Structure formats: structure tokens, C-alpha cells
């Protein structure tokens, strides 16, 4: 009985802030802009070339951000596990997450903007003043930078649990560093990698503020479309439809990852 009482706040939180909002979102997706019940929102989404292109852009950008973040985070996490003051350096990596996302975004606007520090450096080395802000590069760079701590943490935890005796045994049996990484370190850290991919790929699908402020509306994703329908066109039904599709996509990704984990454990 006591366990049920202690778990009551958890279920209340899930009900009020997860289940009820999702139910309201799903309900609203069946209404058009005039308040009439319709299935047209879903039909329009799956038949419109514009929305399908936005879906492709969202997946592509999320994939690029995830891969870029992984390529940076895995070596960083591995090096951290070998340092004496690893908790201190890990804290420095996590520290930027304490800063408000909007403040970090405006900081990068100043860095990449016209007459910013990067612009001034490029002019100093003779490369002129290229347009960096409001480009795909600036959007992917900033999104990857913001996502790095969320990739580093789970990989670091997985590598920390790695038995060094297994690595030493691999070397003793004549394996090279590359072979040891491929056959020992990578498979044993895969759970951390999957958790990091979830933490980066799923939020990247619904980015909208960075697409506005850093991408300059040149980067169009489903998150941008949701914001546009709710705040500009006031078509809450279509905005809810796109949001429902995003939620389903996230659930599919989480389910696929969970099944792979179970398969690996078995």
C-alpha cells in the first residue's frame, strides 16, 4: 500500500503533463481551421509534397546532427575516462547545459553574424566576409554543439563500466588498437551510444527556434511547421496533426532501440 502512495505523484505527473496533453493533441488533429471534424489534415499531410519534403528535411538534419555529435562525443568520452580529474572535465562539458538555450543561440548569432568574431577572423586570414549565419552549416554546427553533452554523458557512463581486463586481454591475444575498438570497446559501449542517439536524434526532429534564429527560415523542418500553424496561421488542427506524426516517429525510434537492446542482452 505504501508503494502505491509513493508512486501516486509520479502517475499524477505523467497523467497531467504527458497523457492528457497528448490526448488533447490527438483530439485537436481531427479539426480543421473552421472547427469542423475532418480526416483531411492527415490526408493533406501524407499527400502534400511540401509536408513530405519537410519530413525528409527533419530526418536528414537530425541524422547529420546525430552523426556529427557522435563523431565528436565518442572520442571525448573515451579520453575523459582516462583522465585523473575526469569528473571535473565532465562537469565542464555539462556546464553549458545550465545556460538558457535562447542565450546560447543569441551568442552564436553574435559569433557567426556579420562583423562577428568568425567573420573578422576570416577577413584577417584573407578569406573575405562569407555569409555564415542563416546557412545549413551554422544551423548544424549550433545544434550539434548544444547536443554534445547529451551524447557524451551516456557514452561516458558506458565506457566507465567497461572492464579494462577485457581490453588488456584483447591486446595480449595480438589484436591491434583498431581491432580492439571494433570488437571489444564499441560493442560494449553500444548501449551508451544508443542512449545518446535517442537523446540527440529525437529532440532534433522537432527543432524550431534554431531554424528561425540560426537558420534564418532557410532551414525548414516539421518543428518549424508546427510553430507556424499554431502561432501564425492559427490552424491548430494541422499543427496538431504534424505534432502527432512527430510523436509517433519518436515512439518508433525508441521502440526500435529498446528491441535491439533486449536482443543484445539475450
- What's the number of domains the chain is made of? 2
> Is the residue at 35 inside a domain?
no
Are residue 119 and residue 16 in the same domain, yes or no? Answer: no
Query: Whole-prediction pTM value?
Result: 0.88
What pLDDT score does 130 carry? 84
Identify whether residues 54 and 4 lie together within a single domain: no
Kindly state whether residue 187 falls inside one of the protein's structural domains: yes
Residue 201: which of 60, 40, 49 has the closest Cα?
Answer: 60
Structural domain contains residue 87: yes
Expressed as residue numbers, the domain containing 3 is: 1-30
Whether 100 is covered by a domain: the verdict is yes
Question: Residue 155: what pLDDT?
Answer: 95
**Domain contains 179:** yes
Residues 25 and 89 in one domain: no
* Whether 195 and 128 share a structural domain: yes
Residue 181 falls inside a structural domain? yes
Could you tell me if residue 113 is inside a domain?
Answer: yes
Residue 245 has a CB neighbour count (10 Å cut-off) of 20
C-alpha span between 191 and 210 (Å, rounded):
29
CATH number assigned to the domain comprising residue 95: 1.10.3720.10
Kindly state whether residues 261 and 167 are assigned to the same domain.
yes
Q: Does residue 161 sit in the same domain as residue 86?
A: yes
118 and 181 both lie in a single domain: yes
Q: Are residues 62 and 25 in the same domain?
A: no
Q: What is the mean pLDDT of each run of 10 residues along the chain (266 residues)?
A: 75 90 94 91 92 91 95 95 90 90 90 85 82 89 94 94 90 90 92 91 88 83 89 92 92 74 44
Q: Where are the alpha helices (DSSP H) in 95-218?
A: 101-112, 117-124, 136-160, 164-172, 177-180, 186-188, 190-204, 209-213
Residues 16 and 136 in one domain: no
Amino acid at each position: 500500500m505504501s508503494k502505491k502512495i509513493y508512486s501516486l505523484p509520479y502517475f499524477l505527473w505523467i497523467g497531467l503533463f504527458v497523457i492528457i496533453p497528448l490526448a488533447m493533441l490527438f483530439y485537436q488533429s481531427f479539426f480543421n481551421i473552421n472547427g469542423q471534424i475532418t480526416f483531411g489534415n492527415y490526408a493533406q499531410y501524407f499527400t502534400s509534397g511540401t509536408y513530405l519534403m519537410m519530413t525528409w528535411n527533419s530526418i536528414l538534419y537530425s541524422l547529420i546532427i546525430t552523426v556529427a555529435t557522435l563523431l565528436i562525443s565518442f572520442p571525448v568520452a573515451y579520453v575523459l575516462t582516462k583522465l585523473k580529474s575526469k569528473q571535473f572535465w565532465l562537469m565542464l562539458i555539462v556546464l553549458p547545459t545550465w545556460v538558457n538555450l535562447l542565450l546560447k543561440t543569441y551568442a552564436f548569432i553574435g559569433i557567426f553574424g556579420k562583423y562577428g568574431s568568425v567573420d573578422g577572423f576570416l577577413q584577417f586570414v584573407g578569406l573575405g566576409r562569407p555569409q555564415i549565419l542563416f546557412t545549413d552549416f551554422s544551423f548544424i554546427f549550433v545544434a550539434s554543439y548544444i547536443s554534445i553533452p547529451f551524447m557524451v554523458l551516456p557514452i561516458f557512463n558506458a565506457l566507465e563500466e567497461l572492464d579494462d581486463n577485457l581490453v588488456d586481454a584483447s591486446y595480449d591475444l595480438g589484436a591491434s588498437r583498431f581491432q580492439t575498438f571494433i570488437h571489444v570497446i564499441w560493442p560494449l559501449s553500444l548501449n551508451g551510444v544508443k542512449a545518446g542517439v535517442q537523446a540527440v536524434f529525437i529532440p532534433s526532429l522537432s527543432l524550431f527556434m534554431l531554424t528561425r534564429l540560426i537558420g534564418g527560415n532557410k532551414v525548414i523542418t516539421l518543428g518549424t511547421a508546427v510553430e507556424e500553424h499554431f502561432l501564425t496561421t492559427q490552424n491548430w488542427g494541422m499543427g496538431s496533426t504534424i505534432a502527432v506524426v512527430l510523436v509517433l516517429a519518436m515512439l518508433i525510434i525508441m521502440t526500435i532501440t529498446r528491441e535491439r537492446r533486449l536482443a543484445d542482452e539475450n
